Structure 1
């Protein structure tokens, strides 16, 4: 089997989703860092992998994939993981939660978007203010979209929604966004934290030598 390589950045929530998926699938992979703070994503070598200049990029089965949700779809389509509920309504609800995070909260809080806002305002403080302004309302909406009972976002079944929620809550904490008053999200995060695949995928700063 061809080597599986994930080009990622340790704090990237999109990369984090894919790390969880790979660990759930039991797939050994090599992580190759793309340092977003140093601008590695804009280097010619990375743009050849990802024309959008984003992480993650996944090399698997002799093919190269971009966009985290597409990667997770691929892992499911190839029989490695199961993240879609059998019930079509629940499947649609899980997808809505995932998209609510990956397509609504995440893009507006992307580093390059925030950097542009800071440059326009001329204030370093804009970064944290911007993050908090979008993350908290977004998570309040996600909270209302979750099942009221059960360990996971969609009750008793692990879904794509859970893989998106956990990294986003990390990002919320990083920017000082309160979430402990959101009981459904708090419940999901606490349960997922007990699972091996989520523990292995956690964001860890690279070691310095």
Structure 2
């Protein structure tokens, strides 16, 4: 299928948008980045025209022609089903289940607890001090990474990447969460396998180009 016009509404530091940027790059799909600043003037995601595209007022949103696609995991599956080569998912049902499970440890269990809107609620509604907010973030990343490290290490399905020798949707989720861990000062020393896979991913152009600091809306010196 011809790629046609692809526009990704993204914020440079959004880990959910980061996942989709990686997936688009792995697929080699030309696309336009449309920045949505999540912090300026109360957040551009809460105002038209973006809020008309996504009633949840969250990034990413991907426009493929006239199609409006929401939710990073669903977007990545759409990309994989529409452009199957190179694949983001393994060939067998058992292996696809493993990749989905690894991805969902991050996308469903870790990331939602550390999302910007959660932290803003803590700050603006409950007046939780910054040190306590950051301790919350570190705690839940560590809980998730402890489980993920145990799942990955010494598993015969784990290769250079989360599943085998080519990047999958699980790697698209892992790398942004490692970036978030670095932002909040998580000690990564205990997570040997996660660190190794993250380094292998970032050595690839598709992952490197998707880094937050390489985005058009990244502040200078970020």
TM-score (ref. length: structure 1):
0.93
| Aligned mates of 1:122, 1:198 — CA distance in 2 | 34
1:141 alignment counterpart: 147
Q: How far did residue 88 of structure 1 move?
A: 2.0
Identify the match of residue 46 of structure 1 among 32, 46, 50: 50
SS at match of 2:83: coil
CA distance in 2, matches of 1:178, 1:143: 14
1-side partners of 2:128 and 2:20: how far apart?
35
Structure 2 counterpart SS, 1:58:
strand
Match of 1:132 in 2: 138
3-state SS of the aligned residue for 2:49?
helix
1:27-79 superposed Cα distances (whole Å, 9 cap, x missing partner):
11111111111111101211101110000010113311011111111111112
Gapped regions of structure 2 (runs ≥ 5): none
Distance 1:91 1:146 in 2: 15
The answer on 1:84 being equivalent to 2:101 is: no
Q: Distance in 2 between matches of 1:141 and 1:55?
A: 27
Tell me how far 1:82 sits from its aligned partner: 0.7
Contact 2:51/2:57 (8 A) holds in 1: yes
Q: TM-score w.r.t. structure 2 length?
A: 0.88
Equivalenced residue count is 208
- Aligned counterparts of 1:173 and 1:59: Cα–Cα separation in 2: 31
Q: Could you list the runs of 5+ residues in structure 1 that have no partner in the other structure?
A: none
